[in-house]
């Protein structure tokens, strides 16, 4: 089954002339795929991920997640889709500095109407999955870069999303920590989670089963697609 599909997606940013970030891009990602999205700076990688995650809307074309056309969903349905089906991991971690690792992860369930005690219980389980059970009470300033990224991954997976979208998840950590982040994402993928990773690192891309290469907003190559 297709987890994510972009059909002839174009994205223009306002300007004179407009800046075209994506040009008639079409991709289909099946459930359980692990995909690298690569390309030079300005190629449209992050824009593609933002549109796939419904954080941005395409200028033209259609996006389907789990078979549902995103443009046909109302605001409430779209928020529910984003909360239940998509997990985000960003280069900058985006952790709240005043919160512990446990409460940063628990914030991933904030908009589901779940009681705090249950959110914290599930957050503890997510931190155990990423090997940070012993760091639950620590704040981001007390954690290494790699540990902060693992907290961010735990926050992304706490709601058991079908898709995780990771934008340069190894960009702010050293090579050893970056390798651990990729191993962790691979473990999640083996459990059935569909994962797209935007990366500038060719070593990471070579490890993944499928690589989509963008240049100037178009797909240059798509290697290892399951169909």
Per-residue pLDDT tens digits for 193-225? 999 999 988 888 999 999 999 999 999 999 986
Range of the domain at 46: 2-95+145-223
Task: For residue 35, give both structure tokens.
Answer: 């995909």
pLDDT at 190: 92
pLDDT in tens, 154-163: 998 898 899 9
CA 77 vs CA 52, 58, 65, 73: distances in Å: 16, 18, 12, 6
Asked, for residue 204, whether it belongs to a domain, the answer is: yes
Asked, for residue 9, whether it belongs to a domain, the answer is: yes
pTM greater than 0.75 (yes/no): yes
Q: Give residue 101's region: left, alpha or beta (phi > 0; psi -120 to 50).
A: alpha
Asked, for residue 124, whether it belongs to a domain, the answer is: no
3-state SS of 185-207 is HHHHHHCCCEEEEECCCHHHHHH
Rounded to a whole number of angstroms, the distance between the first and last alpha carbons of the chain is 12
Return the CATH number at 67: 3.40.50.300
Asked, for residue 166, whether it belongs to a domain, the answer is: yes
Asked, for residue 76, whether it belongs to a domain, the answer is: yes
From 155, 160, 159, 163, select the one nearest 66 (Cα to Cα).
163
pLDDT tens for the 227 residues of the chain, in order = 899 999 999 999 888 888 999 999 999 999 999 999 999 988 999 999 999 999 999 999 999 998 889 999 988 888 888 888 999 998 888 899 999 999 999 998 887 778 899 999 999 999 998 899 999 999 999 999 989 989 999 998 898 899 999 998 888 888 888 888 888 899 999 999 999 999 988 888 999 999 999 999 999 999 986 65
Asked, for residue 190, whether it belongs to a domain, the answer is: yes
Q: Is there a contact between 221 and 211 (Cβ–Cβ < 8 Å)?
A: yes
Asked, for residue 120, whether it belongs to a domain, the answer is: no
Asked, for residue 105, whether it belongs to a domain, the answer is: no
| Count of domains observed in the chain | 1
């Amino acid at each position: 089954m297709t987890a994510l599909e972009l059909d002839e997606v174009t994205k223009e940013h306002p300007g004179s002339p407009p800046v075209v970030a994506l040009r008639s891009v079409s991709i289909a990602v099946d459930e359980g795929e692990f995909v690298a999205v690569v390309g030079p700076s300005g190629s449209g990688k992050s824009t593609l991920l933002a549109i796939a995650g419904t954080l941005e809307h395409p200028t033209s074309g259609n996006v389907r997640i789990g078979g549902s056309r995103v443009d046909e969903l109302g605001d409430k349905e779209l928020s529910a889709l984003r909360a239940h089906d998509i997990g985000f991991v960003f280069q900058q971690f985006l952790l709240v500095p005043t919160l512990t690792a446990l409460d940063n992860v628990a914030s991933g369930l904030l908009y589901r109407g779940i009681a705090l005690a249950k959110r914290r219980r599930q957050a503890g389980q997510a931190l155990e999955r990423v090997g940070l059970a012993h760091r639950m009470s620590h704040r981001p300033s007390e954690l290494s870069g790699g540990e902060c990224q693992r907290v961010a991954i735990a926050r992304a997976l706490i709601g058991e999303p079908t898709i995780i979208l990771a934008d340069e998840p190894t960009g702010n950590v050293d090579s050893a920590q970056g390798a651990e982040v990729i191993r962790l994402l691979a473990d999640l993928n083996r459990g059935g989670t569909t994962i797209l990773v935007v990366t500038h690192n060719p070593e990471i891309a070579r490890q993944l089963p499928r690589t989509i290469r963008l240049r100037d907003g178009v797909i240059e190559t798509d290697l290892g697609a399951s169909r």
